[in-house]
Amino acid sequence: MSNLLVLLILLPFVAGLACYFLRAGVIRSLVVTVTGGILAAASIALLAQGTFTYAPPAGWGTFIAVADFALLFVILYYAFKYRNLLIKLFTVSQIVLLGLFELFMVDHAAPVTAFYADQLSLVMVLVISIVGSLICIYGIPYMKAHEEHLHLEISRQPRFFMFMVLFLGAMNGLVLSNNILWLYFFFEVTTFCSFMLIGHDGTEVAIRNSVRALWMNSLGGLAFVIGMIWAYKVTGSLDLQQIIAAGPAASALLIPLAFICLAGFTKAAQVPFQSWLLGAMVAPTPVSALLHSSTMVKAGVYVVLRIAPAFAGSFVSDGVALCGAFTFVACAALAISQSNGKKILAYSTVSNLGLIIACAGINTPAALTAAILLIIFHAVSKSLMFLCVGTIEQEIGSRDIEDMRGLYGRMPRTTIIAVVGILTMILPPFGVLMAKWLAIESAAGNLLVVVMMALGSALTVIYWARWAGLMLSYPAGERPTPEKQDVLIRMPLTSLAVGAVVLSLGAPIIYSGLVQPLFQAPPLVSSGGILSGPMGAFAVYPLFFILGLGFLYALRAAKKARTLNPSAPYLGGLQVGDIKDSLFTGPMNAPVKVEAGNYYLTAVFGENVLTTPVNIAAIALIVLMMGGAL
């Protein structure tokens, strides 16, 4: 067990340092690739061993404490460097509170199980180590092209890959930690890594957005420290499992748990904290993919999910559900007004994380099952979409989805993979939709949450279907241009696309093996490829069969379409020239080029219309949640 923990947590830190000091690109690429392979294998081996607890030698506690203060002082250095008052305030507050806690309150002689893993932790380790490693490998050729585009004389890749690989170790440490002080340390490491990666390019806009991410997540760090100290005062323990076990019987724990939930909200970029994740899209695509799918934001939802049993049945639980459901529908609405591909993905990420947090607030076995399944399926599909957008952007020089119209003709392989990613987000029988169905069913007792979930799901279909249609709108009968891809680009894209489909096909097995053991009374029963329970059933295998028939029919229709004569769109009888010219007679009999575009409903869903009222409403809901804990 200790060997696997070394590989999953310590190895990425060592490999990250190696990436920084090894200036030869070939050796650094080898380190990243080998580390990714080891992490993936170690995560599978850990899953095979099952749940566990582990207590390392006592000296590690002192090391973590020293490293924690060192990290906070490094963050304080950057606060002074960029002259940000909020970061100074939040970081100094953390240093003072943590110092008082470590020196005068904590009984360091009391035994604490440092590491604990159940099915939730094991699922998170798999997502982090496999999806995160694929993203890091994708970054090898991507960053080479990125720096060529920027015309850099001195490569910044050593520092870039140091933080990318280190991030994976910090996340594994976070999801496996049972000592809440250790959990806090890894929580702060993810904050610092995201800050350094968002500001990687060193431009004014990159630095501005990285500083915003740092102050918002430093607020979350302060909330975590307050909640941690308060929880210790109530329970007298640093053991997270003991704190959770005491929760239902100790109403005094609700306030510290609400503070820890607030920390999770900031990390998961829930409204009104979504701006830091939206700003993170200025970073290179591998950073965006890592933050959105397998690391940073998943840390936030993990923390809320982990402590959810401690506030079950309380007003805090209802408040968490409302905050999450509101984020889900609000960010889905905001995504409709966007044509920037990365921004659509960012709003979609925040929206789906809101749905996961809403499930944590509903706090029933069915809702928690939906949350865990969403974590798995969303991570794979969303990372795939980010990598596709990065590949497309480097090829066409734009991330605007309007510029992706007819992309199939230019990049057929990437287009098909991207469309697979989109379909796995919105269609049955794929896992994301299955988890949404389960989430909505589990919210049946809360009308307001159900309505927000239903509206959010409907709005989600609009922006995803629009995007897929644009990329596939290629003239019938014409042959696409063959696409060349670097093997380290093709491998992660293909692996994630296949994984998104295969994991959905294996959803009954995933549920039975990874999720069902968490509950004494499982909400679903898996039989014959059908997941069924009191709320209904989701027929995974029958729906896949129907999907296969639909796919065969689509291939037949596409083949038949090549033999048909295409017709031009109706232009009021003013068509000019050949159908391929797409011209009509305009003012003064001048030919005008036909242009098509989507309607983005900015008057209704635009950021300048919705952002302020959404943030105000979100703050009110958080205040309501915190007030309900009193």
Q: How far apart are CA 400 and CA 338, in angstroms?
A: 9
- Residues of 581-605 as b/e, b for ≥16 C-beta within 10 angstroms? ebbbeeeeeeeeeeeeeeebeeeeb
Phi then psi dihedrals of residue 52, to 5 deg: -160, 165
- Residues of 395-406 as b/e, b for ≥16 C-beta within 10 angstroms? eeeebebebbbb
How far is the CA of 391 from the CAs of 136, 202, 281, 490, 576, in angstroms? 14, 22, 15, 10, 37
The arrangement of strands across the sheet holding 591-593 comes to: 575-576, 583-585, 591-593
* Residue whose entry in the numeric block shows the structure tokens 């090391």: 63
CA nearest to 197, candidates 268, 280, 134? 280
Strands 115-117 vs 525-527: parallel, antiparallel or unpaired: unpaired
In 7-133, DSSP assigns E strands to: 52-54, 115-117
- The C-alpha torsion from 38 through 43 and 49 to 50, rounded to 10°, is 170
Amino acid in the structure at residue 402: E
Q: How far apart are CA 185 and CA 498, in angstroms?
A: 35
Query: Which element (helix H / strand E) includes 230?
Result: helix 204-235
Residues (pLDDT < 50) of the chain are none
Q: How far apart are CA 288 and CA 275, in angstroms?
A: 14
* Residue whose entry in the numeric block shows the structure tokens 């989701």: 538
What's the confidence (pLDDT) of residue 336?
A: 96
What's the confidence (pLDDT) of residue 476?
A: 61
What's the confidence (pLDDT) of residue 149?
A: 84
Asked if 76 and 89 touch (Cβ cutoff 8 Å), the reply is no
With a CB cutoff of 8 Å and minimum separation 6, the contacts of 550 are none
- The pLDDT tens digits of the residues spanning 203-240 come to 999 999 999 999 999 999 999 999 999 999 999 999 99
What's the confidence (pLDDT) of residue 7?
A: 95
Collapsed DSSP state (helix, strand, coil) of residue 245: helix
Q: How far apart are CA 91 and CA 260, in angstroms?
A: 17
What's the confidence (pLDDT) of residue 629?
A: 64
Rounded to two decimals, the pTM is 0.95
Asked if 280 and 212 touch (Cβ cutoff 8 Å), the reply is no
Phi-psi bin for 614: left (phi > 0), alpha (psi -120 to 50), beta?
alpha
Strands 52-54 vs 591-593: parallel, antiparallel or unpaired: unpaired
What's the confidence (pLDDT) of residue 475?
A: 66
Q: How far apart are CA 334 and CA 608, in angstroms?
A: 10
- The pLDDT tens digits of the residues spanning 444-494 come to 989 999 999 999 999 999 999 999 999 988 766 677 788 888 899 999 999
- The pLDDT tens digits of the residues spanning 544-601 come to 999 999 999 988 887 887 777 777 777 766 777 766 667 777 777 788 877 778 888 8
**Residue ranges of domains in the chain:** 312-518+613-630
